Structure 1
Amino acid sequence: MIYSNNNIRTADLFSIAKSGVNASNELLNTAGHNIANVNTEGYVRERTSFQSQLTGGVGQSTTERVLNVFAQNQLRRDTTLQSEHENFYNKTAVIDNVFASEANSISASMSRFFSAVQTATDDPTNLAGRQLVLGQAKSLVGQIGTVSAFLRDKEEELNLEISAHVKTANSLVQTIADLNDAIVVNQASNPNDEPGTLKNQRDSAILELASLVSIEVRQSSGNDGRVMVNLTSGESLVMQDGSFNVLEVENDADLNYLSLQLSSRGKPTVLNVDENELGGAIGGLLRYRDDVLETSRRELGQIALALTESINTQNRQGMDLDQQLGSDIFSLPEFVGLEYPDNANGASVVTGRITAGAAGEISSADYQVTINSVTPGAPSTLDVTVTALNADGTIIKDVNGNDITKNYPTVDAQSGIFTKMLGGVELEFSSGATYTSGDQFLIQPTKNTADKIEVIMTRPEDLALASPIRLDTNIGNLGDAELVSIKVTNNFVDNTFTDSKASGFDGAGGLHGPGSSPTGAGGVGAPVQIFFTANDEYEVRDSTGNTITTVSGVTDLNNLMAQAEGSAGWPAAFSALDDYPGFELSLQGEPKAGDAFTIGYNTDGLNDNRNGLTMADLQNKNSLQVNNSGSGSPASFHEAYANIVSDIGQQAASADIALQAAEALKSQSSDWFQSVSGVSLDEEAANLVRYQQSYAAAARLLSTAQNLFDTILAVVR
């Protein structure tokens, strides 16, 4: 038989046997390495393969990891998803337990307060009942303060946790970059052996990074063993050239509201990170902050401010036990605007507060105040734009999809002057002409104010349960018209009328007479009498009988003062004020010509409880905004709080379901990955037997070669 030269084996028996022994030894080493690392976290089993030599025997060996890239990538994705849902759920569940707990229920505290008001109203002169109201008021603000302080602590805790995670992520990015360099060097030195230990360490670091943020991993185009790591949103963390970007915690005006940026080392590049697509533990924490923590803080603050301002407003509209106009029960805090870092003048100040009587306008929004221009003068004036923001800093849209923003062209910039803006907020620009065009301030009326509300009323006599006005029917009236309602809408005292909120009350137990009203000397006084000249016509007169205006063509007797204000004879000086004289009345029945009804201060009306009844009924009024966009119907205070509890509970329940699903997916992907890359002791045990037998056979071949050599030597001898 003739053989080609290419098929001639020139290796001797000793070489063939030696290569077989070495090959079996390598296989045994690989199996032993796998078995020894069966419990090593992140270890990927290895496999050694050989090429046969043309001259005979076993050729070059190659040791590589057994890896399914698709299973590995799926495990990373599912790890990211599970970590995000786990962090979101764990944090949300804590908030849910606090709001759902009866011991922490602010709704129960509100009910106890209003119940106390009702008890005091049943007997307005009873000081014990009035004292109970003040006690329950303190309990109410104390309960609100406790929950608010808890949420504030959770924000601080969250910031520390985010910072710790970012620090860990930075360390992992550095580790991956360093391991990339080490792998490139190792592979260049040992092209036939994969640096499994280094790659396992790198994969473990990448998997841990995937638990913090959502990433994508790609092999380097140079096939040098290096990998590139990007955020799922596209930003690079570890790049092909070996450089890497670092996650940094940054913020704008609110130093407690952390945001993430990518900063490249050695290059002056800073990229903002889309936190909605961040994923992982950090993404879950940020989503919890924006969707649960910050939202609940602001909504709780909205309820607290609107509730206490509503009660204050109602008490101011009443008469206390000393027959004086009512005062505030609660003090509402002022809030200082937060400066944006790019402001030209770091000493500029903007101060805000809730406008008196504007409880129904308060929303849970933040407000960005932008200085458009400054006009120096005495006083200086500003052109200002105010924009409503969500908790995450995005602009709130109205029901038509337009940005909620408003321009104020001539705002006085001086200390002590507050200008009413959006959302029941009024601002003071006390820095005068030192503002600079382009300066911005962040106003947060509801975020940090709920736990700063205090009860300032100390005397139970100061509770204004009575109405400060009453209506007396002329005893000589011939018609059957009678009072349906009389209510005070404004009793702000300013006898100089420099404040547009001034009312018809003089602060001395009466209403403005001629000469002391806004019309000045020679003018008419505040309305104090309704005199019917016919059944469909009446005159509004002051305290001296002067006719202020005549209303004709009357078809109903509701809101007689509003009808008078709409008549041609109503004084312009009255109309120039916001709400003058500050009271309204309605009648029912059929008046006759000559019938008169006199409005007067409620002197000695100590048993009057009309204002107390109105105050007690505040809990049933739908007066609170529930949607910053202006859509939806107003809600009561109890309903608004129930909405907070319900929303958090719903988010917690949904997060629990999502977490269970994510854990199931991660378990499946982990099983898939381990079925390929994990060490099976049964399989390795079988391999040991096989490799041991091959080792023994190769050794036997070596022994045979030795015997043949010895035989030849013996023949020669």
Structure 2
Amino acid sequence: MAGNLLNIGKTGLFAAQVGLSTTGHNIANANVAGYSRQTIVQATGIAQNYGYGFVGSGTEVDQIKRYSDSFLNGQVRSAQTQVSSLNAFYAQISQVDNLLSDTTSGLSPALQDFFKGVQDMASNPSSAASRQAVLSNGESLVARFQGINDRLTEIRQGVNSEITAKVGVINSYAQQIGELNDKIAQLTTGSGAEPNDLMDARDQLIADLNKEVKTTVTRGNNNSLTVAIGSGQPLVVGNKAFQLAATTSPTDLSRVQVGLVTGSNVTVLADSALSGGELGGLMEFRSGTLDRTQNSLGRVAITLAQTFNAQHRLGIDSAGNPGGDFFTVGVPVVGRNINNAVGSTTDVKAAIVDPAALTQSDYRVSYDGSNYTVTRLADNKPFTVTPFPQTDPQVIDGVAFTVTGSASAGDSFLVRPTINGASDFSMKINERNSIAAAAPISTSVPLSNKGTGTISEGNIDASYLTPGNALTAPVNLTVGGTPAALSGFPAGQAVTVTTNGVPTTYPAGTPSIPFTAGANYNFGGVNLKFAGTPVAGDTFTVSPNSNGTADNRNARLLGGLQTKPILDGGKATYQSAYAELVSFVGNKTREVQVNSQAGDTLLKQVTAAQQDVSGVNLDEEATNLLKYQQAYQAAGKVMQMASTLFDTVLSISR
């Protein structure tokens, strides 16, 4: 019995010693990131039957238990990856918000100054100073468009650099997790014991990886973990770590994308496939905000340039020459997929034909083996190119798509109609006398007329620029007949009379056109209106304008473009379209900021719940130290008593 008592004391002493070591280990690692508290689990030793009953043989340490709850860990990872994504998103979008909303460096002040200069010139078209101010304000407007676009481009390049850096960090974490999986599996095999510290280190690596990109963890054999990222791409399977690669987009060489390395190939992943974490936040910012912002800015620049140019061409300059383009207009960018079939001869061209219909989206032109399809990427709406081969370009959202050649199934192109609109926006004229402030026609009423009929000052539309339509000599319109009618219109041009919005077209050569006060008369792009009551024999004259210096009629029309609703199908002005962009970015910034704050609160809550289970409580560990110290002393006392009893037995035998 003394020997058995000695063994019982020894087992108790050993268990208490392990308890002291484990408690000390907890205390030493209390501040180590990712450490989970440990405790010993004791079991009763096997009792022996002595006939009168079973006598215990002491205790044994069954395991050193690691307190880690996979459910709580998953909640922390979910909250953390969302917060990391939102923080990365906010760090980028706040730069864009500050850039666009600045009252001094934003676009609105430059637009207002430019059109104020145009309106001042309309008030005094013969003033060299007012004409020069238009050119100076135009240069300032160009600088503002290009400056904002350059800053957006810098932000885009910064995102590219950060994506490349994140890929390197993710690969490093994946490699380390794979190595730890291998070590943990080897140490678990056979013994069944869990290497707690290595498992903590692996969990911490996964937590750090989760800050970079959303992770999904699945438990495998021998305590190994399978780690997938984003929408389910495998990154670590057992001891094998897959690698990501930062690569250029196959359709846009200025854009860095993330690909999965499989052998010697790199499969480019969609931005949406890498959600969560800082990488996901960067991807979402770029595709959801930065692209739209730069496209929208370019849309305003292209619309302003095209519509201002169109009106400027309808005027004449100081020397009486027809007006030319005032601004340079940006053109769409077409990117051919570098992975298209080698034998493909498909070519895609795009041209902006209706700026009022432009959207803020990019487009993908693809071939499925049967049809070419243009897909608007903002909402993934497809448009089939029909007929093919094309007889005319197919116009979609104000963009004319021309597709030629033959393709293989899977070939694609990326069309970005407005991405370079702001960067390519520039002044086309640099001489103040080249500003077409005057109208190319003039009207007059002879003093000899006997009636009260009057004629408007007249204006022209784009058809006036068609060869053969421009006036080369005066046109004298004579009133005759009862009721009154007009004759003398150019013999080779049809005349359209629009009364209360209803047009009536008279073929070329019609000798007499009814006179209707208030109606609009159009011939060869010339638009006129009459008022009053003329009498037979009265005449009205329409002549080529020879006074391009003092005339302000086209300048007035140019200034009126500021408040004319043109964009979004005739619903938005230049400034309201830009204001919509500023509002979108501002609202999105606030949304991300609020969601980030809410995410921080949630993260703190779930982290606290996790730490209640896994965290080291130093007060509790101090109590455990006392408990195991007393157990150690008591077990030593048992062994001392066993030794005394054994000595007593030996003394009897002597």
Q: TM-score range by the shorter chain?
A: 0.7 to 0.9
Q: For residue 706 of structure 1, report the CA deviation from its aligned partner.
A: 2.3
Q: How big is each residue's C-alpha offset from its partner over 1:366-389, in whole Å with a ceiling of 9 and x where there is no partner?
A: 34446899xxxxxxxxx9957252
Aligned position for 1:380: none
Q: Cα 1:339–1:535, aligned 2, differ >3 Å: closer, same or farther?
A: farther
Q: Which amino acid aligns with 2:558?
A: M
Q: TM-score, normalised by structure 2?
A: 0.87
Q: For residue 647 of structure 1, report the CA deviation from its aligned partner.
A: 0.7
CA distance in 2, matches of 1:334, 1:77: 44
Q: Which amino acid aligns with 1:567?
A: Y
Q: For residue 174 of structure 1, report the CA deviation from its aligned partner.
A: 2.8
CA distance in 1, matches of 2:401, 2:595: 44
Moved over 6 A (4+): 346-349
Q: For residue 292 of structure 1, report the CA deviation from its aligned partner.
A: 1.3
Which residue of the other structure, out of 366, 372, 377, is the alignment partner of 1:390? 377
Q: Which amino acid aligns with 1:28?
A: L
Aligned position for 2:616: 679
Q: How big is each residue's C-alpha offset from its partner over 1:639-667, in whole Å with a ceiling of 9 and x where there is no partner?
A: 01111111111011111111111000000
| Residues 345 and 434 in structure 1, CA contact (< 8 A), matched pair in contact too | no
Aligned position for 1:103: 104
Which residue of the other structure, out of 563, 567, 583, is the alignment partner of 1:646? 583
Q: How does 1:686-701 map to 2 (within 5 A)?
A: 686-701=623-638
Q: How big is each residue's C-alpha offset from its partner over 1:329-352, in whole Å with a ceiling of 9 and x where there is no partner?
A: 222244552111233368986565
Q: Which amino acid aligns with 1:119?
A: D
CA distance in 2, matches of 1:97, 1:303: 19
Q: For residue 307 of structure 1, report the CA deviation from its aligned partner.
A: 0.9
Aligned position for 1:622: 565
| Residues 539 and 548 in structure 1, CA contact (< 8 A), matched pair in contact too | no
Q: How does 1:221-240 map to 2 (within 5 A)?
A: 222=221, 224-231=222-229, 233-239=231-237
Determine whether 1:20 maps to 2:12.
Answer: yes
What is the alpha-carbon root mean square deviation over aligned residues? 3.3
Q: Which amino acid aligns with 1:183?
A: I
Percent identical residues: 29
| Residues 181 and 242 in structure 1, CA contact (< 8 A), matched pair in contact too | yes
| Residues 490 and 503 in structure 1, CA contact (< 8 A), matched pair in contact too | no
CA distance in 1, matches of 2:430, 2:230: 59
Aligned position for 2:424: 452
| Residues 532 and 593 in structure 1, CA contact (< 8 A), matched pair in contact too | yes
Aligned position for 1:72: 73
CA distance in 2, matches of 1:117, 1:370: 44
Aligned position for 1:5: none
Q: For residue 491 of structure 1, report the CA deviation from its aligned partner.
A: 6.7
Q: Cα 1:474–1:366, aligned 2, differ >3 Å: closer, same or farther?
A: farther
Q: How big is each residue's C-alpha offset from its partner over 1:240-287, in whole Å with a ceiling of 9 and x where there is no partner?
A: x65454444453312334444545559x89585571672222222222
Q: How big is each residue's C-alpha offset from its partner over 1:176-198, in whole Å with a ceiling of 9 and x where there is no partner?
A: 2222221111111532x321111
Which residue of the other structure, out of 605, 611, 622, is the alignment partner of 2:554? 611
Q: How does 1:26-37 map to 2 (within 5 A)?
A: 26-37=18-29
Aligned position for 1:488: 460
CA distance in 2, matches of 1:320, 1:265: 66
Q: For residue 695 of structure 1, report the CA deviation from its aligned partner.
A: 0.5
Q: Cα 1:100–1:274, aligned 2, differ >3 Å: closer, same or farther?
A: closer
Q: How does 1:301-450 map to 2 (within 5 A)?
A: 301-343=298-340, 344=342, 352=350, 354-355=352-353, 358-369=354-365, 387=374, 389-390=376-377, 395=380, 397=381, 403-404=382-383, 406-407=385-386, 409=388, 421-425=395-399, 436=407, 440-450=412-422
SS for the counterpart of 1:638 is helix
Q: Which amino acid aligns with 2:561?
A: L
Q: For residue 104 of structure 1, report the CA deviation from its aligned partner.
A: 1.5
Q: Cα 1:540–1:175, aligned 2, differ >3 Å: closer, same or farther?
A: farther
Q: Cα 1:336–1:32, aligned 2, differ >3 Å: closer, same or farther?
A: same
Q: How does 1:183-582 map to 2 (within 5 A)?
A: 183-191=184-192, 193-220=193-220, 222=221, 224-231=222-229, 233-239=231-237, 242-249=239-246, 251-264=249-262, 272-273=269-270, 275=272, 278-343=275-340, 344=342, 352=350, 354-355=352-353, 358-369=354-365, 387=374, 389-390=376-377, 395=380, 397=381, 403-404=382-383, 406-407=385-386, 409=388, 421-425=395-399, 436=407, 440-484=412-456, 486-490=458-462, 502=467, 504-505=469-470, 510-511=471-472, 528-534=475-481, 538-539=485-486, 541-542=488-489, 546=491, 548=493, 556=499, 563=504, 566-569=505-508, 581-582=524-525
SS for the counterpart of 1:452 is coil
Which residue of the other structure, out of 601, 605, 608, is the alignment partner of 1:668? 605
Q: Cα 1:163–1:503, aligned 2, differ >3 Å: closer, same or farther?
A: farther
SS for the counterpart of 2:455 is strand
Q: How many residues align?
A: 631
SS for the counterpart of 2:304 is helix
Q: For residue 163 of structure 1, report the CA deviation from its aligned partner.
A: 2.3
Q: For residue 131 of structure 1, report the CA deviation from its aligned partner.
A: 0.7
Which one is further off, 705-714 or 435-444?
435-444
Q: Which amino acid aligns with 1:198?
A: L
Q: How does 1:582-597 map to 2 (within 5 A)?
A: 582-597=525-540
Which one is further off, 31-40 or 602-611?
602-611
Q: Which amino acid aligns with 2:46?
A: L
CA distance in 2, matches of 1:190, 1:535: 117
Q: Which amino acid aligns with 1:200?
A: D
Q: Which amino acid aligns with 2:6?
A: F
Q: Which amino acid aligns with 2:76?
A: L
Q: Cα 1:410–1:70, aligned 2, differ >3 Å: closer, same or farther?
A: closer
CA distance in 2, matches of 1:308, 1:445: 14
CA distance in 1, matches of 2:650, 2:263: 72
| Residues 309 and 326 in structure 2, CA contact (< 8 A), matched pair in contact too | yes
CA distance in 2, matches of 1:705, 1:247: 65
Q: For residue 435 of structure 1, report the CA deviation from its aligned partner.
A: 6.2
| Residues 78 and 666 in structure 1, CA contact (< 8 A), matched pair in contact too | yes
CA distance in 2, matches of 1:94, 1:555: 52
| Residues 540 and 550 in structure 1, CA contact (< 8 A), matched pair in contact too | no
Which residue of the other structure, out of 654, 659, 668, is the alignment partner of 2:596? 659
Q: Which amino acid aligns with 2:18?
A: E
Aligned position for 1:42: 34
Q: TM-score, normalised by structure 1?
A: 0.80
Q: How big is each residue's C-alpha offset from its partner over 1:295-351, in whole Å with a ceiling of 9 and x where there is no partner?
A: 010000000111122222221111111111111222224455211123336898656
Q: Cα 1:141–1:58, aligned 2, differ >3 Å: closer, same or farther?
A: same
Q: Cα 1:420–1:69, aligned 2, differ >3 Å: closer, same or farther?
A: closer
Q: Cα 1:712–1:644, aligned 2, differ >3 Å: closer, same or farther?
A: same
Which one is further off, 601-610 or 660-669?
601-610
Q: Which amino acid aligns with 1:118?
A: Q
Determine whether 1:163 maps to 2:164.
Answer: yes
CA distance in 2, matches of 1:535, 1:697: 133
Q: Cα 1:283–1:207, aligned 2, differ >3 Å: closer, same or farther?
A: same
Q: How big is each residue's C-alpha offset from its partner over 1:373-427, in whole Å with a ceiling of 9 and x where there is no partner?
A: 9xxxxxxxxx995725236xx53x4xxxxx3555464669xxxxx9684444467
| Residues 167 and 246 in structure 2, CA contact (< 8 A), matched pair in contact too | yes
CA distance in 2, matches of 1:644, 1:107: 12
| Residues 333 and 419 in structure 2, CA contact (< 8 A), matched pair in contact too | no
SS for the counterpart of 1:341 is coil
CA distance in 2, matches of 1:235, 1:461: 63
CA distance in 2, matches of 1:85, 1:103: 29
Where in structure 2 are there 5+ consecutive unaligned residues?
48-56, 511-521
